[in-house]
Chain A
Amino acid sequence: MYDVPLSHVLFVSTALFFIGMYGLFTRRNMITMLMALELLLNSVNINFIAFNKYLYPGKLDGVFFTIFIITIAAAEAAVAIAIIINLYRSHKSIDIESAAELKF
């Protein structure tokens, strides 16, 4: 019935996760970092959907959770972009390094 085994899906999501992580760590541009963050979230989403589909086909918990995360991610993106815009207004830059005023 299933042509694609679970491990393939997990492989994709893991790859996605590490790509996101790499982006998060290396990029200084906040927008890019936000995008990397979205990749992380989406890799988790893929995992949820895949485990729901493969392991507990009768249930919908994983799907619900995924929808939940997508909602949160949308809200989070809105807030984050608002912050970034404000930061840009005050610092004329969206480089993460330039916002270091609260550093000890």
Chain B
Amino acid sequence: MAGYTYVILVPLIPLVTFLLLGLFGRYLGRSSGMIGTAGLLAATLLSFLTAFQYFFGANHVNGVYEPISAFKHTWLQFSPGLSIDMGIMLDPISVMMIVVVTFIALMVHLFSLGYMKGEERFTTYYAFLSLFTFSMLGLVLSVNIFQVYMFWELVGVSSYLLIGFYFQKASAVAASKKAFIVTRFADFGFLIGILILGFYGGSLDIATLVERLTNTASPEFIAITAASFFGISVLTWALTLVFIGGAGKSAMFPLHVWLPDAMEGPTPVSALIHAATMVVAGVYLVARLFPIFSMNSAVLSLVTWVGVASALIAAIIACTQTDIKRVLAYSTMSQIGFMMFSQGLSKTSGEDGLGYMASMFHLFTHAFFKSLLFLCAGAVIHYVHSNEMRDMGGLRKLMPVTHACFLIACLAIAGIPPFAGFFSKEEILLTAWNENLFVYGIGLFTAAVTAFYMFRLYFSIFWSQPFPTHAKQPATAHQQEGSLTMQLPLVILALCTIAAGLVPFSKFVTADGRPLETHFNPLFSVPPVLLSIIAILVAAELFKHGDGRAANIAAGLGLVYKAASKKFYVDELYLFVTKKIIFPFAGRPAAWFDRNVVDGCINGLAYITASTSNAIRWVQSGRLQHYTLYFFGGIAGLAIIFIYLWK
């Protein structure tokens, strides 16, 4: 057990760099980027060490990877049994996640050295990146469900700060606000879910909760399933609410609206937060509580269908977007949909637990190729100074390294062997094949659409028309592909994208901790790969030459195309609800009611008092003679009362 305490340094190093850069950033200037990167390098090496020690060390008990609680401190005691603990839990998924998070963050730190060079708030940028890395690491290492929630909020805020990094741009401010509020709305569900689980489970500790709520004989389990609300068991409610939290963070339909807008942030940030790490937190959350989720088939099927819907809808929308980062954003959403439904179809043990493993595997490979895609997009944007596809084209000769890396990543996401995405997607599709043929069909279709829109992107950026020699952008020394610090991460990530699929993932990360034998079945792989290749060819035919063919087809699709390019009007629906319903029917009446009715009553009271005194003030005429008259009148009156009327 001992020997893991050093893991606490993995989240703490970014925290220290955050404080350092945040408080003394002004004096550090340019070197702040190096400090942040160096700190993260140390954290990355430590997490590699952890992974090595965990997976290859001597804690295989009967062939199972035991969870290890490396550190635990009671942070806030609510009542006996219920407390927020700060701690570090090591189990296969958290170890896998810290490796992914630190590694991708390192790449992004490195890339940003070049990308953000010359920014006015360079130091602040690195401080926020460190804050994010710290929060994300804290999130994945949590021992306590409330600890998860805390870091969950912290990643949300870091994401808010980074999306709004260009704070003078109105669209960035709006996007950051939207991202925070939409996820906050989901977190509200998560919070209620935690309250319910905590109350019935009698604990907030994840391990304890899992232990109590998976044992059908335990009093906690009996209580939580026996209690019901609107005819649905409280366990279902709790898990649904927790899942809503996860769905918000992971941009699942219909809470996905914030993700495309979040692309207003600097591109490396999108690579780190909105592609590789934070947005998969929802998937991670479901995986963390998977034993409990697996006790309730209703919630699992909800997870499945939300995942399927998100995967499909996002893929279709992605085909129509013209902002390259938005295409990537929808692609992220689609891929996370894959991970979600794979978990939804999974069971806890043995061969049936394939979906869980596949989901985690896809999370792992997706992190590499998606961050690579974003960083490449960043390089392109850095070069072209535009996000729009139509400003690009023919870049393959001008940016050879970026071109190669982007191609590799596209092949990976399209599921072409032997790139990483192929392996993980195969496992997901296999799960679907085993469990639900309808889901399999949609999955297959979505995979093909994925290949199509990715190559649409690829051909539009790197082929199509020759690169327009910009009128506004003269070919100066700036027109280079980017510095070494920008290219190095691309190459490293490209290598990882090639290699990641070959990791024997099922040996390490499975639903029950036991290694799982996966069988490679060439025959099963034929249809998805074939479909993807066809989709790529179609994309090549349509977009490689940059003529109007694609536009003609789009016009032919008419309304369908328009609906997809307008993101199926989900944004408009939200705007309608907030601007037309909540503001005028809740906010404004509350404000009006307060000013006029509640305050009106108080002012009315004052008014009545004032007007009453006004009405009788003539009595105080200020004339001596009136007063004497009252005086004598009073005496006379009293005299009459006392002498004649008083008995």
- Whether both chains belong to one complex is answered with yes
Chain A positions within 8 Å of B, measured between CB atoms, are 21, 24-25, 33, 96-97, 100, 102-104
**Would you call A24 and B625 a contact (CB within 8 A)?**
yes
* Residues on the B chain within 8 Å of A102, using CB: 622
| B628 engages A24 (CB within 8 Å) | yes
List, in ascending order, chain A residues with CB within 8 A of B625's CB: 24-25, 33, 96
Q: Does B471 contact A (CB under 8 A)?
A: no
Closest B residue to A27 by CB, please name it: B625
Given A96-B623, A97-B623, A104 and B617 contact (CB-CB distance below 8 Å): yes
Q: In the complex the two chains form, is A104's CB within 8 Å of B628's CB?
A: no
Contacts of A33 in B (CB 8 A): 624-625
* B629 interfacial by beta-carbon distance below 8 Å: yes
Instruction: State in angstroms the CA–CA spacing of A103 and B624 once bound together.
Output: 11
B620 within 8 A of A: yes
**Which A residues are CB-close (under 8 A) to B583?**
none
Please, what's the 1-or-0 string for B610-634, where 1 marks a CB less than 8 Å from any CB in chain A? 0000000100111111001100100
Whole-angstrom distance from the CB of A38 to the nearest CB of chain B? 15
Q: What separation, in Å, do the CA atoms of A24 and B628 have in the docked complex? A: 8
Q: Are A96 and B621 in contact (CB under 8 A)?
A: no
Point out the residues of chain B lying under 8 angstroms from A100, CB to CB: 622-623
Cross-interface CB contact of B624 among A21, A96, A104, cutoff 8 Å: A96
A68 to B201, CA, bound (A): 94
Interface of B, secondary structure class, is: helix
User: Is B620 within 8 A of A104, CB to CB?
Assistant: yes
Q: Which 6 A-B pairs have the closest CB atoms?
A: A103-B622, A100-B622, A25-B625, A104-B620, A25-B629, A96-B624
User: Among B617, B622, B629, which residue has the most Cβ atoms of chain A within 10 A?
Assistant: B622
Task: Specify which chain A residues have a CB less than 8 angstroms from the CB of B629 in the assembled complex.
Answer: 25
User: Total contacts A to B, CB within 8 angstroms?
Assistant: 21
Residues of chain B whose beta carbon lies under 8 Å from any beta carbon of chain A? 617, 620-625, 628-629, 632
Q: How far is the CB of A40 from chain B (nearest CB, A)?
A: 10
Residues of B close to A97: CB separation below 8 A = 623
Bound state CA distance, A103 and B620, in angstroms? 8
Q: In the bound complex, what is the Cα–Cα distance between A25 and B630 (angstroms)?
A: 11
Interface pairs (16), CB distance under 8 Å? A21-B632, A24-B625, A25-B625, A25-B628, A25-B629, A33-B624, A33-B625, A96-B624, A96-B625, A97-B623, A102-B622, A103-B620, A103-B621, A103-B622, A104-B620, A104-B622
| Residue of chain A at shortest CB distance from B621 | A103
Chain B hits for A24, CB < 8 A: 625, 628
The interface residues of chain A lying within 8 Å CB-to-CB of B617 are: 104
Given contacts A24-B628, A103-B622, 9 further A-B contacts (CB under 8 A): A25-B628, A25-B629, A33-B624, A96-B623, A96-B625, A102-B622, A103-B621, A104-B617, A104-B622
Give every chain A residue within 8 A of B621 (Cβ-Cβ).
Answer: 103
Which residue on chain A has the smallest CB distance to residue B626? A25
For the complex, what is the distance from the CA of A96 to the CA of B624, rounded to whole Å?
A: 8
In the bound complex, what is the Cα–Cα distance between A24 and B633 (angstroms)? 14
Q: Which residues of chain A come closer than 8 Å to B623, judged between CB atoms?
A: 96-97, 100
Give A102's nearest chain B residue, CB to CB.
B622
Q: With a CB–CB cut-off of 8 A, which chain B residues contact A96?
A: 623-625
Find chain B residues with CB under 8 A from A104 CB.
617, 620, 622
What distance in Å separates the Cβ of B619 from its nearest Cβ neighbour in chain A? 11
- Tell me, rounded to whole Å, the shortest Cβ–Cβ distance linking B445 to chain A: 87
Give Cα A25 to B621, complex, Å.
14
**How many angstroms between the C-alpha atoms of A64 and B621 in the bound complex?**
38
Contacts of B620 in A (CB 8 A): 103-104
Residues of A within 8 A of B628 (CB): 24-25
Kindly report which residue of chain B lies nearest to residue A30, judged by CB atoms: B624
A86 to B543, CA, bound (A): 107
Q: How far is the CA of A103 from the CA of B618 in the complex (A)?
A: 11
Give the shortest distance, in Å, between A26 (CB) and chain B (any CB).
8
Chain A residues with CB under 8 A of B632: 21
Chain A residues positioned under 8 Å from B622 (CB to CB): 100, 102-104
The answer for the CA separation of A97 and B629 in the assembled complex, in Å, is 16
Compute how far the CA of A2 lies from the CA of B409 in the bound complex, rounded to whole angstroms.
139
* Distance between B623 CB and nearest chain A CB, rounded to angstroms: 7
Complex: how many Å from CA A102 to CA B622? 7
- A100 to B, closest residue via Cβ: B622
Cβ contacts under 8 Å, B624 to chain A: 33, 96
**Bound state CA distance, A102 and B624, in angstroms?**
12
Candidate in B621, B623, B629 with the most chain A CB atoms within 10 angstroms: B623
Distance from A99 Cβ to chain B, minimum over Cβ atoms (Å): 9
| A100–B621 alpha-carbon span in the complex (Å) | 9
- Closest B residue to A96 by beta carbon equals B624
In the complex, A73 Cα to B567 Cα: how many Å? 100
Closest CB-CB distance, B613 to chain A, in whole Å? 10
Taking the closest CB of chain B, its distance from the CB of A92, in whole angstroms, is: 19
Cβ distance A35 to chain B, nearest Cβ, rounded Å = 15
Across the two chains, which residue of chain A brings its CB closest to B617?
A: A104
CA distance A103 to B617 in the complex (A): 11
What's the Cα separation between A104 and B624 when bound, in Å?
Answer: 14
